[in-house]
C-alpha cells in the first residue's frame, strides 16, 4: 500500500513538472538571476525623484556620474560579482574599492549572462 502511495506521489510530481516545462515563459527577463534583477533595479532607481541629478550635479562640466549616484549602484554590482563565485577579497584586490571599476565589472558580467540566457533560449526553441 505504502509502495503505491509513493509511486502515485512521484507520478503526480512528474506530471506537474512536465506541465510546468510547457508553460515556462521563454524570455530573458524571466530567466534573470535575482542578482541580475537587482542590478537592473539599481540602474532604474537612478530615475527616482530623490536620486535624480541635483542642481549642483547638473552644473558640473563632465558626463561622469557623480559619486553620490555611483554609490547607489555599488551594492547591487557587488552582489552580482559575488554571485559568480568571486570573493569580496578578490573584488577589493582587483578594484581597490573603486566604485566605477566595480560597476563596469558588474556590467560586463551582466551582459555576458544576458547573452548566455539569450543563446539558451535560441537553442531550446
CA separation for the pair 112, 122 (Å, rounded): 15
**Torsion sign over Cα 26, 31, 32, 34:** positive
Under the criterion CB under 8 A, does residue 40 sit at the interface with another protein? Answer: yes
Question: What is the size of the binding site for another protein (CB under 8 A)?
Answer: 23
C-alpha cell at 52: 535624480
Q: Does 6 bind another protein (CB under 8 A)?
A: no
Q: Which member of 26, 44, 71, 87 binds another protein (CB under 8 A)?
A: 44
CB 51 within 8 A of CB 45: yes
> 88-100 burial string, b = 16+ CB within 10 Å, else e?
eeebeeebeeebe
Whichever of 8 and 108 has its CB closer to another protein, that residue is 108
Under the binding rule (CB under 8 A), the answer on residue 53 touching another protein is yes
Here the cell at position 112 is: 555576458
Q: Which of 16, 24, 34, 52 is close enough to bind another protein by CB under 8 A?
A: 52
> In angstroms, what is the minimal distance from the CB of 34 to another protein?
17
- Decide: 84 and 112 in contact? Cβ < 8 Å: no
Q: Does 33 bind another protein (CB under 8 A)?
A: no
Question: Which residues form the interface with another protein (CB under 8 A)?
Answer: 28, 40, 43-44, 46-47, 49, 52-53, 58, 63-65, 70, 73, 100-101, 103-104, 107, 110-111, 114
Amino acid at each position: 500500500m505504502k509502495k503505491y502511495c509513493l509511486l502515485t506521489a512521484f507520478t503526480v510530481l512528474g506530471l506537474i513538472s512536465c506541465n510546468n516545462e510547457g508553460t515556462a515563459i521563454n524570455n530573458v527577463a524571466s530567466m534573470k538571476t535575482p542578482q541580475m534583477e537587482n542590478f537592473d533595479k539599481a540602474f532604474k532607481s537612478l530615475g527616482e525623484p530623490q536620486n535624480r541629478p541635483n542642481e549642483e550635479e547638473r552644473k558640473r562640466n563632465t558626463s561622469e556620474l557623480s559619486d553620490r549616484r555611483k554609490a547607489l549602484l555599488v551594492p547591487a554590482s557587488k552582489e552580482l560579482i559575488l554571485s559568480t563565485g568571486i570573493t569580496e577579497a578578490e573584488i577589493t584586490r582587483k578594484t581597490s574599492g573603486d566604485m566605477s571599476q566595480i560597476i563596469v565589472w558588474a556590467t560586463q558580467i551582466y551582459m555576458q549572462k544576458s547573452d548566455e540566457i539569450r543563446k539558451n533560449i535560441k537553442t531550446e526553441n
